[in-house]
Amino acid sequence: MLARGIEEVLMEQPEVEEDAVVAEADRGRGEIPVAYVVWKNGRGDAGPLEMRCREKLASFKIPRRFESIEKLPRNALGKVQKHLLCRES
């Protein structure tokens, strides 16, 4: 799964402050994309966001879940620690 391309599409959306996409294990598909979203106004609606993803991404790249999160976990250098996201949801 190429998370970077999915993240770029999400960052183009006006209501998204920042995001990270991680692969989650799935019995049928091997892994599925899950998007963790920090909304600009503190909250947002994943429905319209998903519809825009459907317009711009291949079906296997559309996040299967959109998790709202207050802030992304980062290390001291500011890099997103994606391995912590699955544990926070």
Q: How do residues 37-59 score in pLDDT, each as one tens digit?
A: 999 988 889 999 999 999 999 99
Q: How do residues 61-85 score in pLDDT, each as one tens digit?
A: 999 999 999 999 999 999 999 999 9
Single pTM value for the model: 0.90
pLDDT category at 88 given cuts 50, 70, 90 is: low
**Residues 64, 71: Cα–Cα separation, whole Å:** 20
